[in-house]
A and B are shown apart, each in its own frame.
Chain A
Amino acid sequence: GQQVMQIPQYQHVQEGEDFTTYCNSSTTLSNIQWYKQRPGGHPVFLIQLVKSGEVKKQKRLTFQFGEAKKNSSLHITATQTTDVGTYFCAGNFGNEKLTFGTGTRLTIIP
């Protein structure tokens, strides 16, 4: 079946350090979305990438979509305590459905 792999599963960083999570698919994606889930909360949409090689920024967050549209990454510069949560990528393979990665749980050491 169509799967989206996400690594790492967990990441513990000192406040102020950078953080990156990666997603990979074995087949080409139509687009990829990123969501954030705070502890005890629900997933909240962050961004969508559609074009090959696309790079988008939201303040300290940088999102990239690979040239082959099979991989994506989320990079957070200088993490803050407000960045705590689980980050999910969700791939679209050309239909109404999203296939979520397993998520990367980010914890911040103050």
Chain B
Amino acid sequence: NAGVTQTPKFQVLKTGQSMTLQCAQDMNHNSMYWYRQDPGMGLRLIYYSASEGTTDKGEVPNGYNVSRLNKREFSLRLESAAPSQTSVYFCASSSGGLLYEQYFGPGTRLTVT
């Protein structure tokens, strides 16, 4: 049981480049989430997916797109990276509903120069 996996672990982009962060979970969870973590800011929700085929914006969605490819996979795309998107990105999953904890992946550390 790998839990939640993310690729890549590290990435450096130049301003204007695009990339996709991949996330997969093997716990048969319905809900998946993308967060960014910046110093002093805690974890801020970018997008989430309550079930396969649905996605919704979180607190900071601008500059990002997501795809819930199937129940296991939830990807985050940066179409034109900006230095303000330098951050650590975490994917998480949960069974769904109000009372279930979230399981986090190891994170992707992204630097945009």
Chain A residues within 8 Å of B, Cβ to Cβ: 1, 6, 9, 30-31, 33, 41-45, 48, 50, 88, 90, 92, 94-103
B90 and A48: CB pair below 8 A?
Answer: no
Given contact pairs A31-B99, A45-B101, A88-B43, enumerate 20 new A-B contacts (beta carbons under 8 Å). Answer: A1-B59, A41-B106, A42-B90, A42-B106, A42-B107, A43-B92, A43-B104, A44-B104, A48-B99, A50-B99, A88-B42, A96-B50, A96-B96, A96-B98, A98-B45, A99-B45, A100-B42, A100-B44, A101-B42, A103-B42
**Complex Cα spacing A75 to B52, Å:** 38
Q: Report, nearest first, the 10 A-B pairs whose CB atoms are least far apart.
A: A45-B101, A102-B42, A42-B104, A100-B43, A100-B42, A43-B104, A96-B50, A103-B42, A42-B107, A42-B106
Q: Are A97 and B58 in contact (CB under 8 A)?
A: yes
Chain B count of residues within 8 A CB distance of the other chain:
26
CB distance from A90 to the nearest CB of B (A): 8
- Name the contact of B105 in the complex, choosing from A42, A94, A96, A102 (C-beta under 8 A): A42
Bound-state CA distance A90–B107 (Å) is: 18
B27 CB, nearest partner CB in chain A, Å: 13
26 A–B pairs (Cβ distance < 8 Å), ordered by A? A6-B42, A31-B98, A33-B102, A42-B104, A42-B106, A43-B92, A43-B104, A45-B102, A45-B103, A48-B101, A50-B99, A88-B43, A94-B98, A96-B31, A96-B96, A96-B97, A96-B98, A97-B33, A97-B48, A97-B58, A99-B45, A100-B35, A100-B42, A100-B44, A101-B42, A102-B42
